[in-house]
Each structure stands twice: as C-alpha cells, then as structure tokens.
Amino acid sequence: MRLLDVLDNQLGDGLEAVLTAHHVRRLRWLGWGDVLPATDDEGFTPHRDRRMGNRATVLIDGEKALASMAAAIQAARRQVHIAGWHSSPEFRLTREPGAPTLRDLLATTAERAAVRLLLWAGPPLPVFQPTRRSVRRGCAEFTRDSKVRCVLDTRERTLHCHHEKIVIIDDELAFVGGVDFTALQGDRHDSPRHPADRPIGWHDVMMRIEGPIVADVAEHFRQRWTEAAGEGLPTPVTPPEVGRSTVQFVRTLPEKTYDFAPRGEFTILDAYLRALRSAERLVYLENQFLWSPEIADVLIDKLRRPPSEDFRVVLVLPRKPSNGADTTRGQLGRLIEADNGGRRLLAVTLTAHDGANSVPIYLHAKLGIVDDRWMTVGSANLNEHSLFNDTEANLVTDDGELIRDTRLRLWSEHLQRPLSQVDGEPATVVDRLWRPLAKHRSRHRLTLLPNVSRRAGRLQGPLRGLLVDG
C-alpha cells in the first residue's frame, strides 16, 4: 500500500473515531447510553412499546403509495393530520384526469373534517431547498380560503430539519415512510415499471397501518403539534386489534428540541443496531445514504466474522445522492475491504431503460430487512442527520410473512423477474441472480455501484457531524 493510502486511511479512521466517541458521550449524558454498546438483546428496541394486532401493508413506489394516501384523505370523516419535510400546494397525488391538487384536496376535506398540516419551516438561511420564503408561501396557499390549519415548525437543530413523512386519518389509519407530497428534487410519481420517460426515476416505500399502533403515531403528531401550534389536542384513543402484525413506532428526536422529550429519543438507531447485530443470513438495505459509522461498523464486523456460510449483505443505494456521495462511497470502500473478496457484499444502484433512453432511478426508500424476521420502513436515512439530529419516524415489525412478501416484491421489481424466480434461499438468489445481473454490462436495471472514494473522501459526513452535532 502506498504511503498516501496509509495516511488516507489513518485520517479517515481517526476522524471517524472522534465522531463516534462524541456520539457515545452525548447519548450517555442524555440517558441513552445503552443504545450504542453491543448487547445480547435482539429485534425490537426496549425503549418503546410494541403493539400487537395490527394490519400492515407495504406500498412500493410512489404511484401506489400516493394513490392510497389520496383515497384515505378523501374518505376521512373526522380529521387528517400530516407531518412532513415539505409539501407543495400544487402537487397532485394521482395523475388521473381531473385529480385535485394537494391544496384543493385538503381544502375540500377540511369542509367536513379537521385538517392539520405540520411542516418544516425550511433552513434559517436560504442555502438549500426548500427555503423559508417558499415554505411560507406554500403554507399561505394551503390556508387561503380554506379551513386547513398549517403550522411551520422552526424547532430544528442547526443545519438539520424535520424529515418525517406521516399521514394519520381519524386516528384509525396511518401511513409512515419516505414519500413526500412534493416534486421538489424529483418526481415521486413512479411505479415498479420505472419507465425511462423522465429525467430521473424515483424508488420509495411507505407502510400503511391499521390497529393499535396508529395510536402511537397519532400521539407523536399530537405532541409535536401541541408545542409547535400552541393548540392542545385530545390524547388518541387506541384502535382495536384488526390483524396479526406486531409493530413498533420508533423515532429520532434530538434533545432540547421539544419539551415533551427534553433528552431526545434515539430509538431508530437503537432498533437498527440491535437488528443488524443479530443478523445471521441476510442484511438487505435500501437507503438514500450510508454515512453512519455506527451502522457501517456493525456491517464491517459481520463481513469480517460472518455468522454463517450463506451470510450476505445487499445494499441498494442511489448512484448520485443529493449530497454526501463521497461519504457514502467511502463507507462502501470500508465494507469492500472488510469483505476481502468473500463475495458476501453486493452494492448496487438502479437504472431505468426504455428503448434508447437510460435514466438513473433515485433511491429514496428507507427500508431495512434482516433475516426475514425484522423490517423497518420510515423516513430515516443511515447518516448522522437521521439517526441523531433530524426528527424522523419509522415503523418496525417482526411479521415474517409480511417481511418476506415485501422482500420478494422488491427483489422481483429490481431483478425484473417473476416472484417464483426470486423465491429461494437468499444467498442463492444473490449469487445466481443479483450478482451476475449487476456485473453484466447490459441494459438491465441493476448496476454495480460505481466508484469507491478514497478513505478521506467520506470525511464530509464526520466533519459536518462534528461541526453541528452539539
């Protein structure tokens, strides 16, 4: 190894060690010190209650997810609560002829039901989108000549945001995931077909839930709304059991942001770490980012000391994330080094092809599956923003039937193969389908993730974390 490479590795390792040590100190001081150290516990995080008797459905890609949310809003009887990163008044949830804009859909619904919209106010300085000025204009448009209540939440940490995407209908039905009600940064209206008729494709995931777990999502909204709007809402009534799924609501709330959680909450990080440490056969991650050294360290340990011969790690990431590309590639370099030619790791991106057109598919999903016995869907990316400093909302389940069905549908979409062809032992499917298709330079949807940055190339994530992660 050249001297420059040695220095590059040492610099990357050293700065990352400083950041992870800072995270350990911070969580210990806040009373969350048991999150980062390895434990014997597996699966669900012990910090929040799990709810049994739920009906859960995973909605893959925006076309289906947006249509489902539109139908639910239209059917609301008493109230609609929405909390999001950004929502555009002119956005249409479906592409059907005559489909109303989000502004008109909510205004019509507000004639018979209370509609409350809680949005991030935008960055204090106009350094990136959405700006506070544009958000204020949007909020004014939502409320113009309507009974819609729109509140902008400014309680963000420096250079961070309110990133969750949740919709709650009548405290009986909820959606949690990664889909935003906006075309900002990309067209959310995509389907598993991913036609190459747009500048960029878009892959995303939402979970639709009914049953007792809805009360936890509704209570989270109530807590945030009460502080941001100064308006008290009644405590949600827990819905009756309606299905077989056990589901847990987990979140990121940075400390000193809300009075209801002065020491914050970091149960998304806790849930991910417990699940990944327990992995025996398969880690499957779809995510917009892979910056987190805490997450990468667990994967590295698994790759160096695989728990079984058929252990595989499959990562589906964007070719060019909206920021932090070098940071993600740097972590990928660490993972490749840990795999050391063992062929247990596969990192891919997606591309849409249609005749002469080829366009990248942006990976906006935030989904994790471990061994078909643990799954999370939500808004949290695998970076320090989502795991420590943004507000985020995820759902976790151990419903094996739901998890396996979701994985097979995703694999069928990405591999462009019928369910029957992807329904086998995960390691076999990865080795015989995923890897050859990704390596074959053809017009297939799978592509090996190009390029791996130098170790120092991933430093912007740790540097940003040290600067703003107080």
Tell me the domain boundaries of the chain: 3-49+248-468, 53-245
Q: Residue 55: pLDDT above 80?
A: yes
Structure tokens at 6: 């040695």
> What is the C-alpha separation between 395 and 275, in angstroms, rounded?
13
- For 125-157, what is each residue's pLDDT tens digit? 877 889 999 999 999 999 999 999 999 999 988
CB 302 within 8 A of CB 276: yes
Is 3-49+248-468 a domain of CATH 3.30.870.10?
Answer: yes
Q: With 80 as the cut, is the pLDDT of residue 457 above it?
A: no
Give the three-state DSSP class for 102. Answer: helix
Which residues, 6+ apart, have CB-to-CB distance to 148 below 8 Å?
A: 106, 107, 110, 115, 116, 117, 142
Over residues 428-447, the pLDDT tens digits come to: 999 999 999 998 867 789 99
CA angle 309, 346, 383 (to 5 degrees): 110
Tell me the HSE value of 114 on the side-chain side, using a 13 A CA sphere.
8
pTM listed for this prediction: 0.95
Interval 197-208 mean pLDDT: 95
CA distances from 134 to 137, 289, 378, 409 (A): 5, 26, 26, 38
- Do 53-245 and 3-49+248-468 fall under one CATH topology? yes
Bridge partners of residue 54, in order along the sequence = 245
**Banded model confidence at residue 465, pLDDT cuts 50, 70, 90:** low
Domain 53-245 has CATH 3.30.1370.100: no
